[in-house]
Structure 1
Amino acid sequence: MISRRHVLAGATASPLAAMAGGASAQAVTSPTLDEILTPPTLLGAALSPDGRQLASLRMERKGELMKAYVLLQSADRPRDPPTVVLIGDYDVQQLEWANDERLLIWIFIHKNPDGTPTGQRYGDLLFPSPQIRVLSISLDGAETAILFGSEGGPVSRAADLGSIVDLLVDDPKNVLMQAWDYDKGCLLLFKVNIYTGEATFFERGAQQTYGWRTQNGQPVIRLDSNRRGTVVWIYTRPPGQTAWTLYRKLRRNELEQISDFNVVGATAEAGVMLVTTQHERGGDRVLQRFDLQTLKLAEVMASRVDRDIDSVVMDERGGLLAASFVEDREDYIFFDQTLKAHYRGLQSYFKNDVNLSFVDASLDHSRFVVGASSPTLAGSLWLYDKPSGALTPLGETRPWLSGRLAPTSILKLKSRDGLDLTAYLTTPIGAVAGPRPLVIFPHGGPEARDAYGFDQFVQAFAAKGWYVLQVNFRGSSGYGKAFADAGRKRWGTEMQNDIEDALAAVTARGGIDPRRIAICGASYGGYAALMGAVKTPKVYRAVVSIAGVSDLPAMVAYTKREDGGDSPAYTYVLETIGDPVADKTLLEQSSPAFRAKEIIAPVMLIHGVHDDVVPIEQSNRMAKALKAAGNPAKRLDIKWVGHRGWDVFTTKTILNAAITHIETAFTAPLA
């Protein structure tokens, strides 16, 4: 879904929002797992296009009962009492202004009219999942319409009718939306009237189309993918033309990001888009103009040495304000130098200790909704008035966590071979006698990264009184091409050494019990957990692998079988993990399933049965090898999930299992 918030700062790329301040001097108690995982009560805020009105979406929950409502305020007088617009007993997710007089509210529906759960049925099995709909509502709440609400037939059966492709800023009565047509077996584009909900057919995708990018209300880029979503075909169509042209075929990673070429916005110049791509000269990801007529990458708009540009801050008319990247916190390269001065002032107000994200903006750039986040501040939103410099708090997203979260330190380290590394050490709150346990939590990807922000897994571990160490080992993204390339074919070797070197550095600082160290990770992080137990078996008291890889030759073969030997996904695997023939010895030596006899610590394997990124066969192979080695693993196979997109119940199930496994090992008598 593309909304003003998504186009504005890529706000989903980093954790949202939090109040300035920290824990009080009084003794505080760590939050429970339920409190950490409880969804926010402030779900978002948005400015009307003219910047005169502010809307914030709220949700109160009591058991299964929900009360959703919008608070409307004058942006000129944001501290005046707001007008309450009641939505009702709905699970709402976000809001957006369709125009200056109409709001859009995204609703998740969990039950059919007869009370049965919504979901996808496969034979006799029902996998519960919500239906997503968009409610259009007038500012007094009197007039409402469900977008696509008047549609019957195959489109009405689509689970997701909440995907807005373009808000059509120059057409205040309509938005452009995509929906799956079950009869035609493809994705369709519709122009949908926000006052009536009536949808008018606009364009049909190909059988493999999963989305479009638009300029001035017209689709100019089409994205098709294979069944697993690991390979993407990018098609282009300049304004005024009718035929689509294949531009590139690229890999799509497990974070659903396209490698090397991400369309991040449309410029005000017809036929020119903005993309982030690896620059041909330097290799780091930069922001460039892309000409749809010539299919050429043009001027580099923003770059940062040894850092990757992630997204942009721009308005709906293509006005470019800034490009974003992550140092440890989110940061920006500004095109609007006046905004840069205001941003630095805001950072100073928050003591330079938060991620500041641009959540929304008025079209004249005079007012912004900003979010601020840090490890100890789980969420808040603010209204910033640029002319006056006034900053008004809109509320905390999870106020029950205020002052109760564990702080994180940023560590700059050297690997044993001299590479610069960044790690994050989270320290549990509360005074205790003696050293504390530590959990290493390596990230997935491996071309992903950790950053300085609120993390539910980290805070859940810290709430148990454990230190938590996160390491951006070589091969992580965000630090430029050279750093990512340093991890190629280094699974289980130098990449693992980086984790060990960071652990040695933090252990040397004191306060950590070296006899109670565990390692837990998901996806590549699950692989790193298993490989850590192979490489340094005496270090770990417990190991948890969540959807982890264990058998590299089998994983390489799976990718070839599923995606094809000529696919960019398979090419990536060959370059990053290794060639099954030329690198056979390396792959086997770097496979935990081949070296299970070396593992001493108790292992828990957690895996979604429907995982098609890392198939459950990987955990099956590891379990079989551990059993043969006399160290049978504990298993948790989750029948209703795949590799990503976990809901609160699934996340809680996984965390409960991981924490119980680690805690049991930590409290067991030493051998």
Structure 2
Amino acid sequence: MKKIFIGIIVSISFLFAGCNGESSPTYTQIDEKNTLIHREVLFGNPDKTRVQLSPDGSKISYLAPANGVLNVWVGSAVTPEAARPVTNDTERGIRFYGWAYTNDHIIYFQDKGGDEQWQVYSVDLSNGETRNLTPFEGISASIGAMSHKYPDDIVVAINNRNVSFHDIYRVNIKTGNMTLIQENNEFLGYYVDNDYNVRFAVKMTPDGGKEIFEPAGNGSWISFMKIGMEDERTTNILGFDRTGEVMYMADSRDRDTAALYALNLKTGEKTLLAEDPKSDLNWVWTYEIIGLYVPQILVHPTNKNVQAAAFNYERVHWQIIDPAIAHDLEYLEKVADGDFHIISRTLDDSAWIVDYSVDNGPKRYYYYNRNKSEARFLFTGFSRLDGRPLARMNPVVIESRDGLNLVSYCTLPLNSDSNNDGIPDKPLPMVLFVHGGPWIRDDWGYSSDHQWLANRGYAVLSVNFRGSTGFGKNFTNAGNLEWGRKMQDDLIDAVDWAVSKGIANPDKVAIMGGSYSGYATLAGMTFTPETFACGVDICGISNLTDWIESFPPYWGSVIDLMAIRVGDVRTEEGRKVLAERSPINYVDMIQRPLLIAQGANDARARQSESDKVVQAMQTKNLPVTYVLYPDEGHGFARPENRLSFYAVAEAFLSQHLGGRFEPVGDDFLGSSIIVPVGSEEIPGLEDAITGKG
């Protein structure tokens, strides 16, 4: 059940279930005075994360630091504490990995300095040898499929022949031998079944929609399905059952929210499996080896039938499709508090790895023996969070000025709300923390950013503004051509709501975020310059025209969709719209301090986007501090860089909002941070930079 999509692979994930229960390790708040939590506790590397079982269940793996850098560790499933590192990354750390069906190979992929030119690697556990399976320069490879039927082979997408399109190959993980499956000269991506057969291909259409094609023989293709722009984001093929005759789909056509369907490819019969009137079939970010953004459904490891599906309005809830797993979920929901996620399953389905997430504590991992219906606690992901004064995250629904419901999440500092009604005893300085994308969403759960800000004395508010996904296609499409307009209005409406409720001090509100939310930060500072006391822009987009024109070649087929959602860079009228919505053209409107952070190797929001804002502000003698990381891309992967950035941001926010802050201390050690402009704007920054050198 695999899908190859524009060089980024999307596949079926395992179960995430939202439940409450009893009996687990508890995490009491031992410090009622809400003492300062060190940044390293919140933003350093986890103890363990991305836990998986080998397909035969004999081994366990996870990511953990080795000499301060995240690497893959492998050990016996019986004694996970005896695991040892099997990779030797010494720079950015490994984030994406998984097991091959040989049970003796780990597959992972890695780029250099955040440039997103991904290479795929295989580690032979029998001899420790690491092999680069895609040894080509200037390409972006990804993994498209792994099947238990062919344990020695995987499917890889590579744009080494034509940078604009990804061909797909069958690659032997032991020898590196590659066999071409499909040469690609026109398609966005392909759908591959469990026998590595290409079943369908997809391309974008001029109206911003997409069209699905099936092979007709002799290299030709015939149209199978057309999906209009309004359903493009919420209608997708998810994969096939074991027979290959049933196709699973998320589908929003002829409805608002995306439901889960099974389509019989022989008879054409379409069966509704699960739906929710308020939310779409849930999609989540994952760091498994196959898939970055995947549907939250539970699929049997060998039968490939969908067993449960998740939906998420304020919190995740599950609908069971296959009664065979009902007793498992009933048991697991009683094991521990929080939302539980089935993140790994053995091939015989006798053992699962289950994690439990809460909003005010570390993630907890369990080994679940299905035959005994028994869950055994393994470890926490961040043991140093235990006993820290962590705050709760409260879901709230805010109404926009034109009547849309904005599902949002608010975190308050401990001891600021004496009657626990979600309103602090007095208005607080607040940070509006905006999600990126913008076509993703904010969720309930533990957030290091929320905890950091709340611990420093700020109320924190995250808003699913129009254009966010998960709340039906009408809500997502309401954001079309509304960058810097109604999408931004929703953020302002949320600030006004927080002020009216007595949550936020109107004179001390900051806006902060990265990628799209970096754009939203710049838009807030320029289009509504008196709303925010300051802004923190992380790898934000400042010039929409330049941004779209700088897309990597293999993003070229989405230009039609961008014309509908953001603006058409190919027409005079479209470029006018893009210019009107670009903060770079309104820098002289900025009235309040701005902190900008950027990775020099960013392939999505290039360094020039930040450089131009800084240069324009300098020309107009406006105060700005610019933090640059030569070894980072879209976001900060190295913990040393994360710590240095948050040290700067913390001092910046304290200066302008009045919250608490922790001195820089050693948090610049090992970081590549440079401050080309404005170090004098933040007290202590120049000394910290000098001390680092």
TM-score bucket (shorter structure): 0.7 to 0.9
- Identical-residue share of aligned pairs (%): 21
Partner of 1:504: 496
AA in 2 matched with 1:203: I
Alignment equivalent of 1:305, drawn from 242, 252, 277: 277
Which among 310, 322, 327 is matched to residue 313 of structure 2?
327
- Please list, as runs of the form range in 1=range in 2, the aligned pairs for 1:162-561 lying within 5 A after superposition: 164-172=143-151, 174-178=152-156, 180=158, 187=167, 189-192=169-172, 196-197=174-175, 199=177, 201=179, 203=181, 205-206=183-184, 213-221=191-199, 236-237=214-215, 243=219, 245=221, 259-277=233-251, 279-289=252-262, 298-309=270-281, 310=283, 311=295, 312-317=297-302, 318-340=304-326, 342-351=328-337, 354-363=338-347, 365-386=349-370, 388-404=372-388, 405-429=390-414, 436-510=428-502, 512-552=504-544
- Taking a change above 3 Å as real, the CA distance of residues 341 and 649 of structure 1, as seen in their structure-2 partners, is same
Distance 2:24 2:326 in 1: 21
> Which consecutive unaligned segments of at least 5 residues does structure 2 have?
4-8, 284-294, 418-424, 660-680, 682-693
After superposing the two structures, state which structure 1 stretch, 571-580 or 629-638, moved more. 571-580
Alpha-carbon separation, structure 2, partners of 1:133 and 1:584:
42
Residue 9 (structure 1) aligned with residue 13 (structure 2): yes
Distance 1:536 1:158, change over 3 A: closer
- The aligned counterpart of 2:64 is 59
- Distance in 1 between the 2:349 and 2:257 partners? 30
Two-structure CA RMSD over aligned residues (Å): 4.7
Cα separation, 2, equivalents of 1:556 and 1:164: 26
**Which protein, 1 or 2, shows the higher relative CO under an 8 Å CA cutoff with sep ≥ 6?**
2
The aligned counterpart of 1:102 is: 103
Distance 1:244 1:191, change over 3 A: farther
Q: Does structure 2 retain, via aligned residues, the 8 Å contact 1:436–1:467?
A: yes
TM-score, length-scaled by structure 1: 0.76
Change (3 A) 1:609 1:428: same
In the TM superposition, residue 388 of structure 1 has moved relative to its aligned partner by 4.1
Residue type of the alignment partner of 2:312: V
Segments of 5+ residues of structure 1 without an aligned counterpart are 75-80, 110-117, 121-125, 138-142
Change (3 A) 1:162 1:581: closer
Contact 2:16 2:342 in 1 (8 A): no
Query: Would you say the 8 A contact 1:225–1:233 is kept in 2?
Result: yes
Counterpart of 1:144? 127
The alignment partner of 1:144 has SS state of coil
Cα deviation for residue 613 of structure 1 reads 3.7
The answer (yes or no) to whether the contact 2:393–2:409 under 8 Å persists in 1 is yes
The SS at the match of 1:270 is coil
Please list the CA deviations of residues 575-622 of structure 1 after superposition, one character each: whole Å capped at 9, or x if unmatched.
Answer: 445797668887665443444343321123334445454444544554
Residue deviations 1:95-126 (CA, integer Å, cap 9, x gap):
65545x834334678xxxxxxxx948xxxxx9
Q: Any conservation in 2 of the 1:9–1:357 contact (CA below 8 Å)?
A: no
Structure 1 residues 643, 333: CA separation in 2 closer, same or farther (over 3 Å shift)? Answer: same
Q: Distance in 1 between matches of 2:81 and 2:601?
A: 45
Distance 1:221 1:441, change over 3 A: farther
Q: Deviations over 1:519-540 (max 9, x none)?
A: 1122221222223234543332
| Cα contact 2:351–2:368 (8 A) shared by 1 | yes
Whole-angstrom distance in 2 between the partners of 1:593 and 1:19: 51
**Are residues 267 and 547 of structure 1, via their aligned partners in 2, closer, same or farther at CA, if it must alter by over 3 Å?**
same
- For residues 557-596 of structure 1, the aligned pairs below 5 Å read 568-577=558-567, 590-596=581-587
C-alpha spacing 1:495/1:578, structure 2 compared with 1 (3 Å): farther
- Deviations 1:222-275 (CA, angstroms, capped at 9, x unpaired): 76899xxx999966448xx673637589999xxxx9835434332123254323
Give the number of aligned pairs.
Answer: 616
Q: Name the TM-score, length of structure 2 as normaliser.
A: 0.74
